[in-house]
């Protein structure tokens, strides 16, 4: 059974092959959430591509890392939108900038994507201005276009702050459910898998779309408020509406305050015992993101031994890895599979 198809099978507690998820595409190499980033992720072997979803003023689901647009688009350089700059509280934080919910789809389409972390990924700035803003529909169409009978590409869509959006009169979960039905992607074997940090939103979607609806992953951060999700009782509760968890990899690979690896947790084993897949986030190759012993040199933007971290996660039997560098995880997976293939051949 193909790994992607297995993700649609609730009775399976482990995937036969770990999946590679292109986080916002291959955003280590191209500006995130662009056609170029998603296409490159697929070319590098990603099984799923991962858009974040926010909502436009006219209720369209847009692929952006967050609803504030100035870090990932050229909106700040557009004089026609200068009067849209504002300050508002999003969740626990006050932010100043330009917000997706203040723009129609037509206005958003006029914006151009830029690299969100130019200090770490300066080479990506060569692509600034070349690509536009995509809708969920367009990302799904891209995945379907790139799928073949031998290799199906799926979309792991993250709902960004859906409860906050609902409080502002934009019911994201209802919009997602309606859009998945329209795209013929509202079933467990459909193109789209859903994830969110917002457990209530995932529960509402499960109630709306039913047990035969899309597979879901409960995102889990390192904040103390998420600790309850990872108790044995919490994992059993997650299994009533989701098929897996997507924890920060720091929940599995434990570090001290200096970034040194201090051990590994038992989370993967306990989640599997609860019948849940485990797909941690986010592996990235720059030193800034790696455990201290895998960094090469002292430049935060320099590339370290990310393949070493990928091998460690895969050896711990995670069911997938969400990564900015799909090529790195694909190579690590192939490296670990090679001994098994050699043993079978012998």
Digit-coded pLDDT (tens) for 224-283:
999 999 999 999 999 999 999 999 999 999 999 999 999 999 999 999 999 999 999 999
* C-alpha to C-alpha distance for 311 and 70, rounded to whole angstroms: 36
Of 213, 215, 236, 147, nearest in space to 7 by CA: 215
pLDDT for res 92: 79
Q: Where along the chain do its domains lie?
A: 3-53+138-345
Phi, psi (5° rounding) for residue 283?
Answer: -80, 125
Of 223, 212, 211, 214, nearest in space to 247 by CA: 223
**What is the rounded average pLDDT of the residues 69-91?**
95
Give the number of C-alpha atoms closer than 13 A to the C-alpha of residue 7, restricted to the C-beta side.
Answer: 31
pLDDT at residue 11 greater than cutoff 70:
no
Q: What DSSP string runs through 205-223?
A: HHHHH-TTS--EEEEE-SS
Summary mean pLDDT of the chain: 94
**What is the rounded average pLDDT of the residues 25-51?**
98
- 230 DSSP assignment: G
**What is the rounded average pLDDT of the residues 188-200?**
97
pLDDT at residue 127 greater than cutoff 90:
yes
Decide if 305 contacts 294 (C-beta within 8 A).
yes
Residue 168's CB is within 10 A of a number of other CB atoms, namely: 15
**What is the rounded average pLDDT of the residues 120-147?**
98
Chain-centroid distance of CA 78 in Å reads 29
Q: If pLDDT is split at 50, 70 and 90, which confidence band does 343 have?
A: low
Q: Over pLDDT 70: what percentage of the chain?
A: 94
Of 240, 232, 154, 165, nearest in space to 202 by CA: 240
pLDDT for res 338: 84
CATH code of domain 3-53+138-345: 3.20.20.190
List % helix, strand, coil for the chain (3-state, nearest 5). 40, 20, 40
177-200 b/e with 16+ CB inside 10 Å = b? bebbeebebbbbebbbbbbbbbbe
pLDDT for res 9: 44
**What is the rounded average pLDDT of the residues 4-8?**
48
Instruction: Report the chain's terminal Cα–Cα distance, integer Å.
Output: 23
Cα dist. 28→87, 202, 304 in Å? 30, 29, 13
Decide if 172 contacts 165 (C-beta within 8 A).
yes
pLDDT for res 3: 46
pLDDT for res 12: 43
**What is the rounded average pLDDT of the residues 14-43?**
95
pLDDT at residue 5 greater than cutoff 70:
no
Of 99, 109, 113, 105, nearest in space to 60 by CA: 105
């Amino acid at each position: 059974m193909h790994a992607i198809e297995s993700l649609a099978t609730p009775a399976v507690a482990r995937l036969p092959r770990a999946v590679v998820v292109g986080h916002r595409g291959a955003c280590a190499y191209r500006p995130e959430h662009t056609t170029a980033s998603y296409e490159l992720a697929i070319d590098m072997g990603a099984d799923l591509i991962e858009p974040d979803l926010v909502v436009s003023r006219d209720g369209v689901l847009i692929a952006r890392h967050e609803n504030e647009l100035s870090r990932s688009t050229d909106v700040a350089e557009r004089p026609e939108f200068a009067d849209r700059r504002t300050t508002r509280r999003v969740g626990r934080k006050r932010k100043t900038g330009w917000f997706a919910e203040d723009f129609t789809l037509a206005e958003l389409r006029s914006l151009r994507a830029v690299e969100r972390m130019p200090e770490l990924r300066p080479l990506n700035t060569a692509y600034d201005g070349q690509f536009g803003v995509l809708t969920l529909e367009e990302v799904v169409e891209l995945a379907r276009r790139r799928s073949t009978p031998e290799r199906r590409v799926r979309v792991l869509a993250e709902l960004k702050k859906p409860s906050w959006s609902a409080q502002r009169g934009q019911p994201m979960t209802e919009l997602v459910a309606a859009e998945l039905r329209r795209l013929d992607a509202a079933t467990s074997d459909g193109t789209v898998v859903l994830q969110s940090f917002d457990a209530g939103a995932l529960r509402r979607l499960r109630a709306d779309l039913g047990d035969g609806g899309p597979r879901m992953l409960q995102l889990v951060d390192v904040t103390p408020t998420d600790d309850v999700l990872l108790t044995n009782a919490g994992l059993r509760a997650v299994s009533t509406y989701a098929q897996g968890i997507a924890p920060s990899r720091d929940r599995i690979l434990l570090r001290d305050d200096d970034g040194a690896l201090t051990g590994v947790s038992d989370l993967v084993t306990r989640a599997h015992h609860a019948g849940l897949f485990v797909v941690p986030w986010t592996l990235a190759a720059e030193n800034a993101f790696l455990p201290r012993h895998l960094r090469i040199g002292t430049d935060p933007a320099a590339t370290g031994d990310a393949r070493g971290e990928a091998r460690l996660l895969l050896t711990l039997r995670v069911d997938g890895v969400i990564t900015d560098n799909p090529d790195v995880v694909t190579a690590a997976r192939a490296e670990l599979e090679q001994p098994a293939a050699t043993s079978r051949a012998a």
